[in-house]
Amino acid sequence: MSAPFLPFTRPSIDEATIAAVVQVLRSGWITSGPRVLEFESALAQRCGGRSVRVFNSGTAAIDIALKLADIGAGATVITTPLTWVATANSILAAGALPKFVDVDAKTRNIDVARIEAAITDQTRVIMPVDLAGLPVDRDALYAIANARGLRVIEDAAQSLGASWRGQAIGSTGDFVCVSFHANKNMTTGEGGALVLPDDVDPKLCERLRLQGVTRLPDGGMEVDVLGGKFNLTDIAAAIGLGQLASLDEFTARRRHLARRYFERIDPALGLELPLADFTNANWHMFQPLLPPRIDRGQFIAAMKGHGIGIGVHYPALHLFSLYRRLGYRDGDFPVAEDIGRRIVTLPLFPAMHDADVDRVCTALAAVLS
């Protein structure tokens, strides 16, 4: 009997969380309500007491952060081309333009040493992305932002549970956006959160989240800003509360599995492994680079033949037609382009057994040898 298919990720939902969702469904109050408030409070506690508001996606959190930072037409936002396209799409949706900076070959995050040269009179924000849960150098990043009077919107969609110099991601910094998508280290099915800086009114964030509405004591309402429909449901918040309680356990298990990959992958296969950071990173993904001689599509098909799912996170997004229309071309960001052509995501999630890692490594040897 062949082993069951091993996907590159799978959420871990325990019975207590399922029971909590059932309780919400039976309560008669399933949209935003007491569970959302409880979830925001728990997240705020994890983020050092900072104000946190939850949304129906991580993308919504970025959209609202850009509004709160007053980013619009004429502004540019510095970010990385090696990220999920929502990062840059949100900048365009705000009416601003993304200004891409190439990545560092070792960390695969934005090359902080190149940021200064990309700043112009139109630059208003730096938006770093913690690829695969490895934090960008916060010290160097904020030194530049503070010296140049720029805001920072951290796209920490993948890095909840990670840390920088012993401080949890989200507990420091300016705006911090996280995602609770189904493939993240903790999930609400779909969802996200925004950690707010002290100079931003949480009530304004709430109005932007839900159509700009303020409820009045007499039962009426007022609308003073153009908001959207970005609220999270109590159903999703119930999942999030269960997940948050297990996040540290999830992170520890991910780190263990990542260590096993480093131990078991045969160096002779020619894979370029990610930075072995077991202090700061939360190991959202384990992403080697294929040898240049290997066709990625054929590799993915061959691994699927061994019952193993492989992801790709991410192609360099400036080469998508939407961004080519803004003037970006092949060769603009050679490091990101090379990584984007060769990167693959191996299975990594808390429910995996050590033997699953060994199975992946055996398949790698069979396919790449």
Question: Minimal CA–CA distance to 137: which of 117, 179, 170, 107?
Answer: 107
Question: Minimal CA–CA distance to 342: which of 298, 290, 278?
Answer: 290
Distances (CA, A) of 335 to 99, 140, 284, 299, 342: 16, 20, 21, 22, 11
Sign of the alpha-carbon torsion through 56, 62, 68, 73? negative
Residue with token string 């060994």 = 358
Q: Name the amino acid, one letter, at 347.
A: P
Active site residue 184: yes
Q: How far apart are CA 103 and CA 130, in angstroms?
A: 11
Q: Are 132 and 285 in contact (CB under 8 A)?
A: yes
Q: Are 286 and 261 in contact (CB under 8 A)?
A: yes
For 148-164, give one letter per residue: b (16+ CB within 10 A) or e: eebbbbbbbbbbbbbbb
Q: How far apart are CA 242 and CA 71, in angstroms?
A: 35
**Of 67, 99, 106, 184, catalytic:** 184
For 332-363, give one letter per residue: b (16+ CB within 10 A) or e: bbebbbebbebbbbbbbbbebeeebbebbbeb
Distances (CA, A) of 304 to 5, 267, 281, 286, 358: 8, 22, 28, 17, 16
State the catalytic residues.
Answer: 184
